Amino acid sequence: MYNENLKKHNFENVKAWQSARQFRKNIYKITKNFPKEELYCLTSQIRRAAISVHSNIAEGYGRYNFQENIQFCRIARGSLNEVLDQLYIALDEKYISEEIFNNLYREGRNVEVDINGYIGFLKTQQEKYKK
């Protein structure tokens, strides 16, 4: 870990990034129990998509351009919905219980709310700086 006093404004302070990171941790936790034959298929795919959510938020933040940042947040939102779709596969194949599915699905939708809120904030800031 780095010294948090070094920089006050960074992607780690973005609520959408924080919630996406926690969501990814939870996805990793449940995929550890997926069958071994899914290692290079569903397990790999859902993990990559979950990583993509917070990674795209971080990458957009680093662009220092409102429109690019918003676009990367949209990509993150798309990856999030990919994870949610893959949770249906895990449920259908009985790799996860309905309770786990419901909890993760709800958490994912909350991450989506955070991403949408961040996009709204960025749009507001963009308008403010246009004037």
Is residue 130 packed enough to be buried (19+ CB in 10 Å), middle (13-18) or exposed (0-12)? Answer: exposed
Element (H, E) at 51: helix 44-61
pLDDT for 7:
58
Q: What are phi and psi of 59, to 5 degrees?
A: -65, -45
Give a yes or no: residue 29 inside a domain: yes
Give a yes or no: residue 124 inside a domain: yes
pTM: 0.92
pLDDT for 55:
98
Give a yes or no: residue 90 inside a domain: yes
pLDDT for 74:
98
pLDDT for 89:
98
Ranges under pLDDT 70 in the chain:
1-8, 131
Give a yes or no: residue 5 inside a domain: no
Give a yes or no: residue 7 inside a domain: no
Give a yes or no: residue 79 inside a domain: yes
Give a yes or no: residue 46 inside a domain: yes
Give a yes or no: residue 1 inside a domain: no
Count of structural domains within the chain: 1
Is residue 64 packed enough to be buried (19+ CB in 10 Å), middle (13-18) or exposed (0-12)? Answer: exposed
CATH of the domain at 32: 1.20.1440.60
- From residue 70, alpha-carbon distances to 8, 56, 118 in Å are 21, 10, 8
pLDDT for 130:
80
Give the domain extent around 90.
Answer: 12-130
